[in-house]
A and B are shown apart, each in its own frame.
Chain A
Amino acid sequence: MWGYVLTTATTLNLIQNSFFIASCLYVAGLGAVLVKRPGVGGGLVGAGCLCNGFSLALRYWSSFPLLPLYQGAFFIPFVVGLFCTRSLFKGDGSVIHALLVVFLAGSALLFPNDFYLPFLQFKSLFAHGFFLLGVGGKALFLLSGAWAVTILVKQDQKDTVKKMGNYVIWGYFFWTLSVFSGGVWAYLGWGSPIVWEDPLLTTTMATWLYYTLFLHLHLTRLNSVRSRALLTLLGAVFVFFFNLVPELGIFMMPGIKL
């Protein structure tokens, strides 16, 4: 029994410690961006992504072929971090991006929800599709929010507006595929395309509808850059509060575990 506990504890410690280090690197990256060293910032956030990626790989490795349950919060900063690193190296990333990564990593670190044991129903390609595509969708929606802030703060530029729109479109693409993947999975597993047990199905649909509405805005007169940026930002806040927060757990003090 002790052997089992030790092996489990070692893997868990590695998972948690590497994510803790990733979060520290994200904070350092933010610091570098704040002191106007975007290249260094990009490097630090990139290094954070490596640690975060290692932690995620270990999470997947220790649960595959089952799905790591309710662990999306650890995956989102990784995806956002990758885009942030790219933007910082390209020179168009801002403190907002680095702040977003830190904020997301901090939420996952301080409020983990990774204590449920996986179920056999979660062993399906569609379950993984639902989860990973959903992570991609959420990350892109949040990034579009970061670009929206950039536009609102800097009264910016055609290029940024286009980027914001593209992030929304790709986010919508991933989100839609995630919803469909979830529908197929629900049918295969429970014989029904909608499983009326999980409250997150309402917020998932609400998010999809919100962005559907957003993508139809060009049909109305509400088409100024500022109003689109405001709605994108609102969407990102919506995604955070209604799709991320419900998946967070209670406050737990982080730290290196030996």
Chain B
Amino acid sequence: MKMIKQTWHVSGHVNLFMGIIGLMVVDLLLGYNQLKFHAALFDPINDMGFYRWALTYGRHYPSNTAWLFILVGLLGILSVNTFVCTTERIFVLIKSRHAFSNTSRFLLRFGPHIMHYSMLIMFLGYLVSYLSAGTHMGKVLLPGKSIALTRPCCTITLEDLAIDYYGGGRMIHMDGRAMDVRATLKIEDETRIKTAVLSFNSPVRFSPLSIHLKKFAPKKKGGMERRKYITVIIKNDPGMKFYFSGMILFTLGLFMYLWDKLSRHTRQEDRA
């Protein structure tokens, strides 16, 4: 029991936190050069996921990828440390709740702890995403044509592809170039049919899939006539809900922290 308590205490110690963060900063700076000069080694993580990437690129190019493995390890230790440290402090805060003059001030003190826990939720999201997300790469859709997916089983048809080209004089270098791409997709499986418009940064969701526009042609008006088509990234990412929830909660915690800090500052000034 004593050993468990000691391990718990050590794993949540603030000095450990400082050390890990310091190492992570150094590690990330080393990673900068690797990503800058060897981006092709890391780009496949987006579609392969971390596990398959680690077995191929990661394992065979250790001098370039070691920083990322170290980063993941440090993130793991940081998660444990954050969980232990925050949980301890939450208990202390709850115990001292009577010291607060009103409930809102007491609740606002939870801001940093919400930030810490939501960071863990984000990490969990990334973990789920990079270990279990499925990606279909290089899927091409021509107007009127369909593609069939086997996992999960569904058919995607590009019903219409509308591309608007810029014709004004305001935007520099954009004359005659595509400004808006709207692809009308019909997605169907055994039980559902959905028609939706896909464009850049506006994916189409067909649970559990999300379809993102990657490329299209023709990009310019006139010139060499290219066939109309789009390529899409089809993703099944169960981690997405976690990391977005984490982001929202973190932002909430950050606002609470700032509100608490500003109201304390105002009170101090009033007293002065």
| Chain A contact residues, CB within 8 Å of chain B | 4, 7-8, 11-12, 61-64, 66, 117-118, 120-121, 123-124, 126-127, 169, 173, 176-177, 180, 183-185, 187-203, 205-206, 209-210, 212-213, 216, 219-220, 242, 246
Contact = CB atoms under 8 A, between A and B. Distances in A.
Given A120-B179, A126-B201, A169-B258, A203 B233 contact: no
A159 to B, nearest CB: 12
B171 A121 contact: no
Contacts of A66: 171, 174
A124 B18 contact: no
Contact of B172 (A62, A176, A187, A189): A62
A63 B173 CA distance: 9
A69 to B, nearest CB: 11
Contacts of A169: 258, 261
B28 A213 contact: no
A201 B212 contact: no
A124 B243 contact: no
Nearest to A123: B200
A2 B178 CA distance: 21
A192 B170 CA distance: 33
Given A4-B175, A183-B247, A196-B43, A191 B28 contact: no
Contacts of B46: 190-192, 194-196
A176 B173 contact: no
A124 B201 contact: yes
B14 A219 contact: yes
Given A213-B22, A216-B18, A220-B18, A189 B201 contact: yes
A4 to B, nearest CB: 6
Contacts of B106: none
Given A177-B251, A193-B126, 17 more contacts: A4-B169, A7-B169, A120-B200, A121-B201, A127-B201, A191-B135, A193-B243, A194-B46, A194-B126, A196-B35, A197-B39, A206-B29, A210-B21, A213-B25, A220-B18, A242-B32, A246-B32
- Per DSSP, are chain B's interface residues mostly helix, strand or loop, or mixed? helix
B36 interface: yes
Contacts of A209: 21, 24-25, 28
Contacts of B135: 191
Contacts, number: 137
Contact of B243 (A126, A183, A188): A183
A177 to B, nearest CB: 7
B104 interface: no
B29 A63 contact: no
B54 interface: no
A199 B32 contact: yes
Contacts of A63: 171-172
B35 A120 contact: no
Contacts of A64: 171
Contacts of A242: 29, 32
A140 to B, nearest CB: 13
Interface in B254-272: 254, 258, 261
A199 B32 CA distance: 5
A62 B171 contact: yes
B238 interface: no
Interface residues of B, number: 55
Interface in B177-204: 178-181, 200-203
A97 B42 CA distance: 40
Contacts of B171: 62-64, 66
A127 B43 CA distance: 20
10 contacts: A62-B172, A120-B179, A176-B251, A177-B251, A183-B247, A191-B237, A193-B126, A210-B21, A216-B17, A216-B21
A203 B201 contact: no
Contacts of B14: 216, 219-220
B235 interface: yes
Contacts of A191: 46, 135, 203, 210, 212, 233-235, 237
Contact of A8 (B126, B173, B203): B173
B150 interface: no
A206 B254 contact: no
B250 interface: yes
Given A120-B181, A189-B212, A210 B244 contact: no
A176 B254 contact: yes
B29 A203 contact: yes
Interface in B213-272: 214, 233-235, 237, 240, 243-244, 247, 250-251, 254, 258, 261
B129 interface: yes
A200 B29 CA distance: 10
> Which of the listed residues A124, A209, A210 has the most CB atoms from chain B within 10 Å of its own CB?
A209
A199 B17 contact: no
A169 to B, nearest CB: 7
